[in-house]
Structures are given as C-alpha cells and as structure tokens.
Homo-oligomer: A and B are copies of this chain.
Amino acid sequence: MSKNLEVSTLLDFYGQLLTDKQRETVEYYYNDDLSLGEIAENLGISRQGVRDSIKRAETVMFDAEEKLSLVKKSREFRNSLDVIRNHIDIIDERNMKIYRSDVINESIKVILKELEKIGKD
C-alpha cells in the first residue's frame, strides 16, 4: 500500500482528531494531490507552515493507529464480512434451487440488510 493511500485511509478513521487546519492541509496534499506551494497559496500561509501542519497531522494519526488499531481491525472485520457474505450466497443459492423455503429466504434478506449496514462503517 502506498504512503498516500495509507494516509488517506488514516484520514477516514482519525480525521476528527485533527484541527481544521491540519485536516485541510492533509486532504489537499493526499486526497487532492496539490503541491505544498499550491496549498500555501490557497490557505494564505507559508510553505513551511503547510509542511509543519501535514507533519503534525501525520504524527497524530499514526500515533492514534498505533494505540487504537482501527485501520487494522477494520481490515480483519471486512475479511470476515466477505466470508459471511459468500456463505450467505451459498445458502441462498441452495435454497433457491432446491428447497425454496420462504422462511429461509426472508432470513437471508434480513441478514444481507444488516451486513450492508455494518459494512458501511
């Protein structure tokens, strides 16, 4: 995973821990791919100010991940959701082709809805 992708992911999880200025500079730099000079001009601060703000933001977010592991846990969680979805599909296919149970069909629908809900976080 590239550095950029990694910081963008950290932003999704820990962006709320940053100050407005930190978040703004990091989003410009990593999500919008602006140069330090362009960000400096946009925000009316020095290039060095932009660089410092991004560095501090990265420190806050890497530090938070080291302590809370939200990104790591989220990956493991998503793997489990994939496994569950695949096996729900297997049950669904069997049921549709062979048993045609409305009760099972309804339960599958409810489960898929809940999986979609928790998959969004």
Interface residues of chain A, those whose CB is within 8 Å of chain B, are 14, 16-17, 64, 67-68, 70, 73, 76-77, 80-81, 83-84, 87-88, 90-91, 94-95, 98-99, 101, 103-104, 107-108, 110-111, 114-115, 117-118, 121
Cβ-neighbour of A80 out of B94, B103, B118 (below 8 A): B118
> Taking CB as reference atom, which chain B residue is nearest A64?
B17
Cβ-neighbour of A87 out of B111, B117, B118 (below 8 A): B111
Copies, count:
2
Contact between chains at B67 and A17 (CB < 8 Å): yes
Which chain B residues border A83 with CB–CB below 8 Å? Answer: 110-111, 114
Which chain B residues border A103 with CB–CB below 8 Å? Answer: 90-91, 94
Which chain B residues border A107 with CB–CB below 8 Å? Answer: 87-88, 90-91
Which chain B residues border A80 with CB–CB below 8 Å? Answer: 114, 117-118
Cβ-neighbour of A101 out of B94, B108, B118 (below 8 A): B94
Cβ-neighbour of A67 out of B16, B73, B104, B111 (below 8 A): B16
